[in-house]
Amino acid sequence: MKPLVETSTKAVSTAILLLRIMSGLILFVGGAGKVLGWFGGMGMNATLDIFKTNLHLSAFWIYLSCYTEFIGGLLIIIGLFTRIAAFALFINMLVATLFVGFKNFFMGGAAYPCLLMIIFLAIVLSGPMAFSIDAVLAKKKRIEKLNSGFSIAF
| Residue-level pLDDT at 141 | 83
First CA to last CA distance, the chain: 59
- Contact (Cβ atoms closer than 8 angstroms) between residue 12 and residue 123: no
- From the CB of residue 12, how many other CB atoms can be counted at a distance below 10 Å? 13
pTM of the model: 0.88
Using one digit for the tens of pLDDT, what is the confidence trace for 98-141?
999 888 899 988 999 999 999 999 999 999 999 999 999 998 88
The span from the CA of 152 to the CA of 119, in Å, is 48
Rounded CA separation 29/37 (Å): 10
